[in-house]
Structure formats: C-alpha cells, structure tokens
Amino acid sequence: MQAPINIALVGNPNSGKSSLFNALTGLNQKVGNFPGVTVDKKTGTAQIVPGITANIIDLPGTYSLYPKSADEYVTYDVLINPNNTDIPRMVIIVADASNLKRNLLFCSQIIDLKIPVIIALTMMDIARRKGVEIDLDGLERELGVPVVAINPRKNKGVGELKKIIDLSARSHYNAPPRDFINNSALANEVIEDIKKVVPCKSDYGALHIAVNAEELPFVNGGQKLAIRNILQTHQFNKTKTQAEEIMQRYARIKHIMKASVVENDPLQKQLRSEKIDDLLLHRFWGYAILLAVMFLLFQSIFWLAKYPMDWIEGSFGALSGWLSSTLPDNKVTDFFINGILAGISGFAVFIPQIMILFGLITILEDTGYMARISFLTDRLMRQVGLNGKSVMPLISGVACAVPAIMATRTIENKKERLITIMVTPLMSCSARLPIYTMMIALVIPDKRVLGILGLQGLVMMGLYLLGFFMAIFIAAIMKLFIRIKEKSYFIMELPVYRAPRWANVGTTMVEKAKIFVRDAGKVIVVISVILWFLASYGPVSKMQPVHAKYEQLLAQVPADSPEAAVLNKQFQSAKLSNSYAGVLGHTIEPAIRPLGFDWKIGIALITSFAAREVFVGTMATLYSVGEDPQNNNATLREKLSSAKWPDGAPVYTLASGLSLMLFYAFAMQCMSTMAIVKRETKSWKFPVIQLFYMTGLAYVCSFIIFQIFK
C-alpha cells in the first residue's frame, strides 16, 4: 500500500465543509494545533479506494486567498507555502451551490495556484428551491477542473467524489494549463522578476509573494530584500493590483454563471428564509423575539430537567441512607458515603440540565438562528469598541469560556480581540449552571409572574443577561484604556434556515454529558475526597477536647433518646468546625461575612478555583460530613435549607442566595480559563488582570446586593 496522500479541505464558512470532513473520515479524527499557532488543526484519515488512503486536513473557512485573521492565515500558509508539512497533493473545494457566484471567487484563486483541484458542490437542494439549475458538465468545462454534486449530511455523492480523488491521485486530472484570469498581465514585470528570486509554480503564486512577502515564512531575508527592491523599482501598488484581480475574476465568473447556471427571475417571490429574516431581524421585533427565545431556553432548563433531577437526587439520598444503615459504622464507610458518593451526587444531579442546555444551543445553531443573534447585536458591539464577530465568542461563552476564547481568533483586529478575550469569562458558562439552579431552587419561590412567566426562569435569564451586559460595560471601559486605531468590518453570511438535525442534537447532548462527567466529575470527586479528609480530621489540640466533651455528655443519656440525637448532631457539627477545613473556613470567614457567606461557603469559594461546578460537590461533602449519620438520606437542598448561623438565623436567605449567585456570575474562578487566556495572549499579565478585576467586581456587587436585601 502506498503512503497516505494529503488532501486539503477548503471552502467558505457555512459551505458544508465540516459535514464532508465527517462523512469522509468518520471517527478517524484528531484535533491538535497547527505548528507555531494556537489554531485548531482537524485531521482525519479516509479510505478512498482499496490501496489509497488519504490524510484529510480540514482547513479553517475563508472567503478569499487574502488572509485577515489567524484562522485564515493558516489556510493561506498551507496552500501557498511549499515548505509546509501539510502541503496538499490535491485540494477539495467545498462550494455552496445556492451561493455559487461568491464561492467561485475562492475556487478561481486556488485553481490559479496550479494545485490539482476538485470542486464539491453542496446544498444543491437549496439551489433548486431558489430556482437555480446548474449544468455540472458545463461548469466543469468552463473551470477546467472536476465538479461533483454532494450532500454529505445524507452521504450522497461521497462515493463519486472518492472515485474522482482516485483518478486525480493517479494523475488523470491535473491543474488546468491556462490561468482562470491573465494573472501575468496584472503585474508582468514584477511577477517575472520575483520568479527569478523565489521559485514559483504559477504566476499567481508569484503575485502573492509580491503582496505578502514580509509575512511569508518560506521567503528568507535576502529574498525579502530583493523583493522590496523589485516592488520599489516597478512602483508596485498592492491595493490597486488586488482590486483589479478581483474585478477580473468576477467578470469571468459572471460569464461562467451565464453559460452554466440558469436562475429564475429575481423579482419572483421572496424565499422563505428572507421572509423569516424580515421578522427575526426587525429593529424592534427581532430583539423582542430574541428575549423570548432566551426566556424559553432558560425556563426549559428548569421545566424539562425537574423530573430527572428529582429522581437522581432522591436516588442518591436513598442510597446514602440505605448504605449508612447497612454498612458497619467506621471510617471506611464514612469515606465511601460522605467522600466519594457525596462527590458523585454533587455533579450527577446536574447532568440533565447540562444536556438540555447544550441540546437547545445546538438546535439554535443548526436552524441558523445563532448567526442572526450576531447580526442583531453588531450595533451594540460597535458602541463599546467591538464588532459583530465578538458576539459569537460571547455567545459560545454560555457553554464554556475556553473554546469561546479560542474562537476570538477569527477577529482580525488585535485590540478588539484582546478586549473580547478579557470580557468573555463574564458570560455565564455551563459550569455556573449547577450553582444557579441550586440557589434559585433554594431561595426563589416557584411561582408565576403575570400568570404565565415562571419567576425562577426569569431569574435564571436575568443572571445570563447580567453577565452579557456587564461584559459590554467592562468592554466600554477597556476601550478607553486600550486605544483601537485599526478599522474593522463585520461581514457575515447568514445561513439559510434549516430543520435541526435531531441525530446531531442527540449526539451533542450525550457527548457534552460525557465531557462533563469525565472532566468536571473527576475533579469534583478528587476534591470531595480531599475535603472529606480535611473535614474529618483536625489538629489534635482542637479535636481532642471536642471528643472528650461530647463522649462524656453522650455517656450520661440513653443511646436512643432524643437528647442523644441532639448531642450527636452537635458533636458532628463541632468536629467539622474544628477540623482542618473548619479552621481554614473560620480564618477566611471575616472577609466574606459582609457578603452573607459562612465559613462553609468560604471553603467552596476556594475549591471552586479548580472548576466552578466544584462548589456543589464541596457543599455536598461538607454537609454530609457535618451531619448526623442517620440523616444521610436527606438531599443536599434539604440540608442547605436547614443550615443555621450560631444565633439560629438561616444561612440561605434571599439576600445571601442572590449575593452568592452574583459572586459566581462575575468571579474568575476557573484555572482552565486563565490558562487558555495566557496561551492566547502569550502573557500572564492579562489573566492576572482578569483575576483581580473580576474578583473585585464580584465582591463589590455581592456586598451591595446583600446589604440591600438583608
């Protein structure tokens, strides 16, 4: 068998490239980073025909061969750099048949690089609904490269595509001898002189060296000096040459469209997508509908998850109670029930909500509505020094700040990208969801507003909106300190509306649940075990008097009497208070007492720096260790409801609950986020600034809200 061949998969954003990548590679995929940059590198292996295997490289989507962002530069480097380790043997260009004219610009540029090209036309069904009929044979003749219609979502045309890849690999298809346009005429003398300095396969490649020589890694210092002299000698105007090139390409594309594509009269009735956009992008109704969609999303998290959550919570409570009464009363049993089992229950109960949240977000993305949210909020973004491209990372931050911050790579303006990175962690991520839902269920009554709106859902939506508007406010402040001189533009293609792929929604829900269990779960269990030890043992000087006191008192009353039950509860509480965890908690309690937090919450605040969702596991462990063993069948919510201050006042009131939710809404309590910010900004300065400004903001806001409501 011959060595695998490299095939680059390129195309405009939203052209179906990812679907084709999945159809070709199946599960044989891996994600890494391109050398020297933090841009994701998706690669996979595909069996084309017996004897031919291909390495499929899924390159970031781009509209043209002139890069403007880190993602686009990766695509550019793979296609233009002869020394790139991923240099392709051939290129598959995925083109949207329903927007063929725009897609053909990028196709024509790659064809002129003299790399063997296959054009895979997707969305033919949408093109037909638009009244567009494409003559594939005629298009193939005009372009000089093979063209195949595919539907990777339904696995149609993939077999034919593989046959063409096989023929191309055996040199039955080569790069067309003639250029798509007369590139040489654009700057003949410059191109000829550059080809003498840097070996080039095509005139168009030489033209790109003329335009981007200073940024190209394969052009050495001596060659760059020679190119500068060539450009100066011939008074080469980069902007004018690029403009002429694009105009010539579109002129040729217009001729090809006329010869190979039949379109209905453009004055025919509007498409369904355009009619829906008239409503969803309306300057008033668009925002009203957006708020309604958000409310339904957050209300559904409570409504749909209520029954599985109650079942999981009740099952763990019953299991703990049964194990307490069945297993022998010793440290091993205590460790298993109050350390391991309490930790597992602390995150397992929130799996339904995590699945529902990601399922609903996937539906919004699949239908095309998520892109409309970016469009709607672009005007607001610009007023605070950002643009519409900042919205997608912010929206992604609702799921997780780590991939959201990585998504800022598509923002060309470096300062806008930095501001977006600095404010994205203010968006309420899924790790905050367990804390929000637990506290809302605890302190917010389950009642209706105006007879139809659930108060708990409104509070949940309010917390998410609060994070968004605080991010906007902080961005406006940072705009004053980080001067933005570069101009930026927001250009975005709105995908057509589609029915969600329910299989994709289900797969996403399951995968996100697995990630939550694997990543968050193991951290929560490990910290729960450590906390069990810290909460079960303490300094001898403190624990010995507690044991002596209560053992003496318990010896004076019957073991099964009500007095013994009260003393046992006081004994457990005293041991916890004097344990290592208790000593640490009481040390920091004066600093957090003005926020309405007791020492147990203080311990949870510290452990939450590993991951925010650890808060729930921490509380589960602390309240399990500190309870009478006979009360192990109580749920965490019931234990929190009965928590009291030394004076008998409840710990969890409306004031302290709102204060705690507000603290977690704003505090930077995620080591993974800090690490990714450091990687993306290449400096510890920015994550440290985030840590201090977000923690300070969280403290001040929590203090104010507690003082108002107490």
**Angstrom distance (rounded) from CA 251 to CA 101:** 11
Contact 166, 52 (CB under 8 A): yes
18 is in an annotated binding site: yes
Contact 116, 93 (CB under 8 A): no
Name the nearest CA neighbour of 47 among 18, 5, 93.
Answer: 5
Contact 532, 621 (CB under 8 A): yes
Amino acid at 471: A
**Angstrom distance (rounded) from CA 150 to CA 162:** 11
Q: Tokens at residue 598, please?
A: 């007791």
**Angstrom distance (rounded) from CA 316 to CA 321:** 9
40 is in an annotated binding site: yes
Exposure b/e, 346-373, CB count within 10 A at least 16 = b: bbbbbbbbbbbbbbbbbbbbbbbbbbbb
Name the nearest CA neighbour of 534 among 594, 599, 612, 462.
Answer: 599
23 is in an annotated binding site: yes
11 is in an annotated binding site: yes
Residues 6+ apart with CB under 8 A from 636: 313, 345, 346, 349, 438, 616, 619, 620, 623
**Angstrom distance (rounded) from CA 6 to CA 17:** 16
16 is in an annotated binding site: yes
617 is in an annotated binding site: no
Exposure b/e, 394-405, CB count within 10 A at least 16 = b: bbbbbbbbbebb
14 is in an annotated binding site: yes
Cα 340 to the center of its chain, rounded Å: 30
**Angstrom distance (rounded) from CA 40 to CA 31:** 7
Amino acid at 524: I
Cα 572 to the center of its chain, rounded Å: 43
The residues facing 108 across adjacent strands are none
Name the nearest CA neighbour of 309 among 350, 251, 256.
Answer: 350
653 is in an annotated binding site: no
**Angstrom distance (rounded) from CA 417 to CA 419:** 6
| CA quadruple 31, 34, 39, 42: dihedral sign | negative
**Angstrom distance (rounded) from CA 328 to CA 334:** 9
In degrees, to the nearest 5, what angle opens at C-alpha 556 toward C-alphas 555 and 562?
Answer: 95
25 is in an annotated binding site: yes
Backbone conformation region of residue 144, classed left if phi is above 0, alpha if psi is from -120 to 50, else beta: left
**In 457-563, where do the E strands start and end?**
none
325 is in an annotated binding site: no
238 is in an annotated binding site: no
60 is in an annotated binding site: yes
Residues 6+ apart with CB under 8 A from 594: 703, 706, 707
Q: Where are the alpha helices (DSSP H) in 41-157?
A: 70-80, 100-111, 124-129, 136-143
**Angstrom distance (rounded) from CA 276 to CA 497:** 9
The SS3 call for residue 44 is strand
The residues facing 193 across adjacent strands are none
The residues facing 57 across adjacent strands are 8, 43
Cα 437 to the center of its chain, rounded Å: 21
517 is in an annotated binding site: no
Residues 6+ apart with CB under 8 A from 690: 422, 425, 668, 674, 677
17 is in an annotated binding site: yes
Q: Tokens at residue 98, please?
A: 């329903």
Neighbours of 281 (CB within 10 A): 15
61 is in an annotated binding site: yes
Contact 67, 75 (CB under 8 A): yes
Binding residues: 11-18, 22-23, 25-26, 36-40, 58-61
Which residues fall in the annotated binding site for Mg(2+)? Answer: 22-23, 25-26
Binding site listing for GTP: 11-18, 36-40, 58-61
